[in-house]
Each structure stands twice: as structure tokens, then as C-alpha cells.
Amino acid sequence: KAVKEGVLEKRSDGLLQLWKKKRCVLTEEGLLLAPPKQQEPPQPAEPAAKVKELHFSNMKTVDCVERKGKYVYFTVVMAEGKEIDFRCAQEQGWNAAITLQMVQYKNRQAILAVRSTRQKQQHLAQP
């Protein structure tokens, strides 16, 4: 389910590093990016053309780089070291929303890991 929807600008990897608008849907699992022409918000299981998912399990941090003019610039750092640059209007608060969802996701994963370890220990302790 969508926590936040809207448009973010992503810097392209190419030589010119142009800013391209992306339709974005923030979920409890990650961030979905789709071309702005797609009117329907991207769905996680949908094999839609060029929908990219940045899953929180592969995300390391969200760095707020700077606030300049009407924009806030931030970088999503992935586990394999890849950095993806974004910008949005300051009042949209995308960087804060993504960070909050990522922290909540990591906390849920940590709780599940602890529960799993406890269950194994209890199972092993039973005669």
C-alpha cells in the first residue's frame, strides 16, 4: 500500500546527468519509480515498462545533501555502494518520508530476526 505518492526528479547516470521526473510511490517495502507518462501509480508486482523498485533491504542510507533554492537534494545509497541522486521541492519532504519508512522497515526486520532466534533457542532447549 502507498504511504506517499508524487513526482521526484532523479539525476540520470549519463554523461549529461540531466534531471528526469519520475512518478514515485513510497511503500512500506521501498520506493517505486516509473516514467512520468504512466498515469497509474506503479504497482510492486506489476511488470510495467521501466518500473524500478528500490527495496529497503538493499538500501543503506538516505543522505540529505543540501537545500538550494526551492529544492532539497538528497542521495539514496544502496547496499552495493551505488548512489542515486534525487531532488524535490523542499515542502514535499520526500527525503524525510523515505528515511522514516526505511528505518521502520529495518526495525521490523530486526524484530523478526530476534523472534526467529528466540524460537530456535526455545526449540533447542526443549528436551
Query: Do 77 and 60 meet the contact criterion of CB atoms below 8 Å apart?
Result: yes
User: Considering only 18-22, 38-42, 54-58, 91-95, which range has the smallest mean pLDDT?
Assistant: 38-42
At 37-46, the pLDDT tens digits run 755 555 555 5
pTM given for the model: 0.81
At 80-124, the pLDDT tens digits run 989 999 999 989 999 999 999 999 999 999 999 999 998 888 888
Query: Do 127 and 114 meet the contact criterion of CB atoms below 8 Å apart?
Result: no
Q: How far apart are CA 17 and CA 9, in angstroms?
A: 12
Residue 76 has pLDDT above 80, yes or no: yes
**Straight-line distance from the first to the last Cα atom of the chain, in angstroms, rounded to the nearest whole number:** 43
**The pLDDT value given to residue 127:** 74
Residue 48 has pLDDT above 90, yes or no: no
Provide mean pLDDT across the span 4-26. 92
Q: Which residue pairs, CB below 8 angstroms and at least 24 apart, start in 96-100?
A: 97/3, 97/4, 97/26, 98/26, 98/31, 98/62, 99/62
**The pLDDT value given to residue 49:** 62
* Domains assigned to the chain: 2-125 (2.30.29.30)
Strand-pairing partners, residue 8, are 22
